Amino acid sequence: MSLLPEETMGALRRLEWMARRRMQGTLTGKHTSPDKGFSVEFAEHREYAPGDDPKNLDWRVMAKSDRNVIKQFVEETNLRVTLAVDISGSMGFVGEEAAEVGGEALSKFRYAQFLAAAMAYIFIKQGDAAGLVTFDSGVKDYLRSGSRPSQVRRILDVLHGSVPGKETNVGEVLHEVAERVHKRGLVILISDLLDDPKKIVEALHHFDYRQHEVVVFHVLAEEELSFPFKNFQRFRDLEGVEAMLRIDPQAVRAAYLERLREFVKTMESACGNLRADYVPVNTKTPLETTLLKYLGRRMHARR
């Protein structure tokens, strides 16, 4: 199934229509950037990476040093966006009340795929640069930010080829991403955040230290949020433990919901302290509703 189905494109067209009614820009406005890109004033070299335009290779340096290097220049640029998508095992959970796209009930993983694809499309369509990181216990794919229309296809191809992995290590991975994304920009994390909250908060501070703007889409299923189970249930860990646990939901429900509230509050408070956007996402919410609500709000804030 296409990661940009008609339902999503309809929502994005609505956003584009709303954007055209505003005075300048859509989600951002063009500005002179101190970062290095591809323009007229040479700044320095860097190593070639997949996704870079071959025409910017410096053949003279390559001939002398046998190194593949790219010329970097001071540029006129819009926002640089890095989409960090959690593809760990827990993201594979499908709730009974999950929203559907094309008749398919969306797991947290599939919801994240569609959400990231839409974000990449809208940012690149309006002239920003977007890149992608997928991760579970480590970085699985890293696609450097680019603004060419072909970048959308690259991002979609990586997303389409991703499958839910096993264990996650959100905190450690985000530290690595913070080190790899050198240019100041927007980092959009799409994850269920089911890991040590202290380590995740520390990683969010790392992004703040490097002066990135951060948006956290906290994706959870309705069953994880409300724990509606009544009779004895068998639960299985989706991140590597094969054994099934038989649990009386009535006995653990109150404690579970209290822990969940504390967990969500910790994430929301950490984002608030860092002036990062915290966006709770329930997979029963239609994808287009989530897109219109968040991107519309962001567009309004940047008028």
CA distance 195 to 189: 14
Percent of the chain past pLDDT 70, that is, above it, reads 76
What's the pTM value of the predicted model, to 2 decimals?
Answer: 0.79
Specify whether the CB–CB gap between 82 and 180 falls below 8 A.
no
Instruction: State the CATH architecture for 6-27+78-295.
Output: 3-Layer(aba) Sandwich (3.40)
Report domain extents, the chain.
Answer: 6-27+78-295, 31-75
pLDDT given for residue 195 in this prediction: 93
Contacts of 293 (CB under 8 A, 6+ apart): none
pLDDT one-digit tens code per residue, 129-171: 999 999 999 999 999 999 999 999 999 999 999 999 878 899 9
Q: Which amino acid is at 201?
A: V
Specify whether the CB–CB gap between 221 and 227 falls below 8 A.
no
Contacts of 155 (CB under 8 A, 6+ apart): 83, 116, 117, 120, 130, 131, 132, 143
CA distance 233 to 265: 27
Specify whether the CB–CB gap between 32 and 76 falls below 8 A.
yes
What's the average model confidence in pLDDT over 48-76?
66
